Amino acid sequence: MWSWETAREGLPLILHGFGITLLATVFGSLLAVVLGLGIAVLRRTPSRWVTLPLRAAVEFVRSTPVMIQLFAVWVLVPGLDPLVIGIAVLGVHYATYTSEVYRAGIDAVPKGQWEAAVALSLPPVRTWFAVVLPQALRKIVPALGNYVISMFKETPFLSVITVNEMVHEANRFGSDHFAYLEAFTLAALVFLVASCPTSILMRKLEKRLAH
Amino acid sequence: MLTDESPTPTESGAAAPAVRFDQVVKRYGDNTVLDHLDLEVGRGERVTLIGPSGSGKTTILRLLMTLERVTEGVVHVDGEPFSHMPGRGGRLVPADERHLRARRRRIGMVFQHFNLFPNMKVLDNVTEAPVHVLGMDRDEAAERARGLLELVGLADKQDAHPTRLSGGQQQRVAIARALAMRPDILLLDEVTSALDPELVAGVLDVLRDIAHGTDITLLCVTHEMGFARDVSDRVLMFDGGRVVESGPPERIFGSPEHGRTREFLGAVL
Amino acid sequence: MSSYPYAFHAGEPLSGLTEFTHSLPSVGAGLWVTVQATVLGAALALLLAFVLGFMARSRRLLVRGSSRVVVEFFRGTSLYVQMFWLFFALPILGFKLVPLACAVVAFGLNYGAYGSEVVRGALDAVPRGQREAAVALSMTPWQRMRLVVLPQAWPQMIPPFNNLLIQLLKCTPLMSLITISDVTFQMDQLRSTTGDTATAYLLLLVVYFVLAYALTLAMNGLESVAKARLGQPAGGRA
């Protein structure tokens, strides 16, 4: 049964793990946001020698489990720090999502906007930075935010390659003290406490950007 | 507003008007759309509501169809309270869904944007309510629906998808769909406003046939003054949530008394 | 301690390819477990998505509020934690579920919560005029939903449901962490007996890719049928 004492004992360990979880989320998201933009831009190049293999790769990475990808990289590329592997794999996996976000956001800018930019003889740089991107961002930013939250909740997968993030620590504490109830309940609560305000914030941001 | 003196269902019978609005108020927040409106429509009477947009004409139809609730006052149909029902001690209380459902059947409505069901073929649009609401036998409902589609000139479209029809054809199906419920009162809410100009005549012809061939009570909101003149017994000019002027079409269109009416007719004619 | 206890079994490296063909039956059995968990989890999720989605549109604050709380709870706590909680923590409270049930319940709760947003959104997206026309024809609230609103909302739900289904499938390897012999577990066994890591993981990725592709094809087919019924062009996605 539940013991407050055990819970109090386990909390520091779990919070320490939470730090690693945040670290992985922040760097994983950064990678996903940058790499996703790169993929989206590359997919707009006219050469089919670029776009077709890229599309195939994106499709493959996106429809296979991140957990297997983690294993595969971990076992096949020895000598790297598991946390680095975790961030890289999560980042690449989510880049396949974010690239779609960028693409959809840019496609959603009405054709008339491009035409108006041409009619005003705006140089391409102005067209992109003054006309297209500011409008596309309204759709892009909330969607990116939702993927960051979603990645945050998938960081426990990193425990399978021995990264000592929160759930890994909870699991260890649970088995050491036979206190799985306290350990996993605490982990769940930390997730809940962290993600509820974020999703409320995201919803507000979404509403604000919608106008 | 509603006290014990409020009339309870006593005036029903042949003499009662088909529709009676009794001091009806409708507000959306601070915006008063209907301002203590009194209105009577006799059985079989054809009444047209005209007036500038935003004057509350459509709201009257929507209140009558129970798509909106009144803020104050009572709507009566066939001499019985409709928006309200007798509660404890004979007091009128706002009607519940069951009260409305039992009485709503007498009323049919045709909408500005047709609102045909895209998940059903044309014939099913017309048979759906008779089968599921009136409990009519499927074959019988289909038989009647074919007759109604013929009436609106679309007998050959019964197996088409509504989305494949022109706006005018969709609206004629919507008229057949409303008639399939055999309503005593038919509400027409700007039924030609969403149509391309060349399709308007076909729809109005169908409605003229219905007006002249049946004894249905008609309440229409329209900007088609020619149609209003042809079918109406009475025209009501609306402005600012109130009836400004009412009378037979010849008089309203021929020699309007009120300045607002003259102004409005001058702008639309 | 390794969280993945069988990841490093030093296997006897046998001649790779024959061993792979020998092990086909066990991989097949694992595949069947994966498919079962996916289907059962998705079925439970679909049920919950509709229940919670309908509740979210209720006029009663209490009903709406409880749906909101349940949805936020199961979206806010990671699927990983939920499954481990059901497997490790729940027995301590005196309820022991078989491992597959833990997995299916976790999938159902988590994706049911996400799916309820899909249901709610699609119901809200049916134009108001459609409901009004149904009122004007004197349909009961239940008839309006069954005959008019739901048939129109359903095709809207299929593409986002497909996304969730693929995500669910991609999370099923988690089952292998709670002693379930799914295809990941079986393939990992094979990897440790053959020592051919590259082949085993590549094969495993291909297996999931094929499963995901098959599910997408099926859902696209479903969407085309549903849209054709609405008289819309069947716009299946790649």
- The per-residue pLDDT for range C180-230, each reduced to its tens digit, is 999 999 998 888 888 888 888 999 999 999 999 999 999 999 999 888 888
A122 exposure class (CB count in 10 Å sphere: 0-12, 13-18, 19+): middle
pLDDT number for residue B86: 87
For B66-88, how does the pLDDT look when each residue is reduced to its tens digit (9 = 90+)? Answer: 999 999 999 999 989 999 998 88
> For residue B108, what are the β-bridge partners?
B186
Ordered by start, the domain boundaries in chain A are 4-210
A51 touches chain C (CB under 8 A): no
Ordered by start, the domain boundaries in chain B are 117-182
For B196-238, how does the pLDDT look when each residue is reduced to its tens digit (9 = 90+)? Answer: 988 999 999 999 999 999 999 999 999 899 999 989 999 999 9
The CATH code that applies to domain A4-210 is 1.10.3720.10
Q: Do B181 and C140 touch (CB under 8 A)?
A: no
pLDDT number for residue B4: 43
Residue of C nearest to A196 (CA): C76
pLDDT number for residue C3: 43
> For residue B37, what are the β-bridge partners?
B24
Kindly provide the ipTM of the predicted complex, given to two decimals: 0.88
DSSP-based three-state secondary structure for B22: strand
Res C8 pLDDT > 50: no
Listing DSSP states for C173-229 in one string gives: GGGGGGT---HHHHHHHHHHHH--HHHHHHHHHHHHHHHHHHHHHHHHHHHHHHHHH
Q: Which residue has the higher pLDDT, A122 or C22?
A: A122
> For residue B39, what are the β-bridge partners?
B21
Res B1 pLDDT > 50: no
φ, ψ (nearest 5 deg) of residue A20: -65, -40
What is the residue-averaged pLDDT of chain B? 89
Rg (CA), chain C: 22
pLDDT number for residue B7: 45
The CATH code that applies to domain C22-229 is 1.10.3720.10
Q: Do C105 and C44 meet the contact criterion of CB atoms below 8 Å apart?
A: yes
The bridge status of strand B80-81 relative to strand B72-77 is: antiparallel
Res. C20 pLDDT band, cuts 50 70 90: low
The DSSP code for B7 is P
Q: How far apart are CA B118 and CA C152, in angstroms?
A: 8
Q: How far is A129 from chain C (nearest CA, A)?
A: 31
For A36-66, how does the pLDDT look when each residue is reduced to its tens digit (9 = 90+)? Answer: 999 988 888 888 898 999 999 999 999 999 9
195-224 in chain C: CB under 8 A from chain A: 197-198, 201-202, 204-205, 208-209, 212-213, 216
Counting every residue written for chain C, the total comes to 238
In this structure, of A30-44, B193-207, B234-248, C2-16, the range with the lowest mean pLDDT score is C2-16
Residue of C nearest to B129 (CA): C137
Query: Max alpha carbon distance in chain B (Å)?
Result: 56
3-state SS string for B87-128: CHHHCEEECCHHHHHHHHCCEEEECCCCCCCCCCCHHHHHHH
DSSP-based three-state secondary structure for C94: coil
For A83-141, how does the pLDDT look when each residue is reduced to its tens digit (9 = 90+)? Answer: 999 999 999 999 999 999 999 998 888 888 888 888 888 888 888 888 888 888 888 98
Strands across the sheet with B242-247, in order?
A: B107-110, B185-189, B217-221, B46-50, B234-239, B242-247
Ordered by start, the domain boundaries in chain C are 22-229
Q: Do C136 and B67 touch (CB under 8 A)?
A: yes
DSSP-based three-state secondary structure for C53: helix
> How many Cα atoms are found within 13 Å in the side-chain-facing hemisphere of B98?
1
Pick among A61, A68, A101 to test the C interface (most C CBs inside 10 A): A68
Q: Do B108 and C136 touch (CB under 8 A)?
A: yes
Q: How far apart are CA B190 and CA B59, in angstroms?
A: 12
Contacts of B248 (CB under 8 A, 6+ apart): B232, B233, B234, B235
Res. C71 pLDDT band, cuts 50 70 90: very high
Share of chain C above pLDDT 70, in %: 89
